[in-house]
């Protein structure tokens, strides 16, 4: 068994696609129209056949309170591995990304948390 697909709820699929591709560096994998929304996934360019991230519309009534509570409590909706958190923090901050947590070392793991502009906090991490 392996993870094939996971998702983040986004408030605007076009804005999310721009952020996740142009800023974070993922690439679009799938785009299928579904009425007013789309089945829209991105993947890592390092593993184009790997796990897909669905940029899922947050229109369900339960989603916005859920997202709001997570952000209020500082809980990331997803976590992405990077080679060097401090270097990625500097690169992303240079692109105007807002971080809610600067790089923090916790034993062998370094993490930072950013705002994805679509209603979510996202953690980046690396372990030594």
Task: Give, for all 128 residues of the chain, the pLDDT tens digit.
Answer: 999 999 999 999 999 999 999 999 999 999 999 999 999 999 999 999 999 999 999 999 999 999 999 999 999 999 999 999 999 999 999 999 999 999 999 999 999 999 999 999 999 999 98
Q: The domain containing residue 17 runs over which residues?
A: 5-127
For the entire predicted model, the pTM comes to 0.95
Tokens of 75: 């809980």
CATH code of the domain containing 45: 3.10.180.10
Count Cβ atoms below 10 Å from residue 51 Cβ, excluding itself. Answer: 13
Count up the domains in the chain and report the number: 1
Mean pLDDT, all residues of the chain: 97
DSSP reduced 3-state for 119? coil
């Amino acid at each position: 068994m392996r993870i094939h697909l996971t998702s983040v709820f986004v408030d605007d699929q076009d804005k999310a696609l721009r952020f996740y591709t142009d800023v974070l560096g993922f690439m679009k994998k799938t785009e299928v129209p579904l009425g007013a929304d789309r089945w829209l996934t991105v993947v890592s360019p390092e593993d184009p056949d790997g796990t897909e991230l669905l940029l899922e519309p947050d229109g369900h009534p339960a989603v916005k309170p859920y997202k709001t509570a997570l952000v209020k409590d500082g809980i990331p909706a997803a976590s992405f591995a990077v080679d060097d958190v401090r270097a990625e923090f500097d690169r992303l901050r240079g692109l105007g990304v807002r971080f809610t947590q600067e790089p923090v070392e916790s034993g062998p793991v370094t993490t930072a948390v950013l705002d994805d502009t679509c209603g979510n906090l996202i953690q980046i991490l690396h372990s030594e």
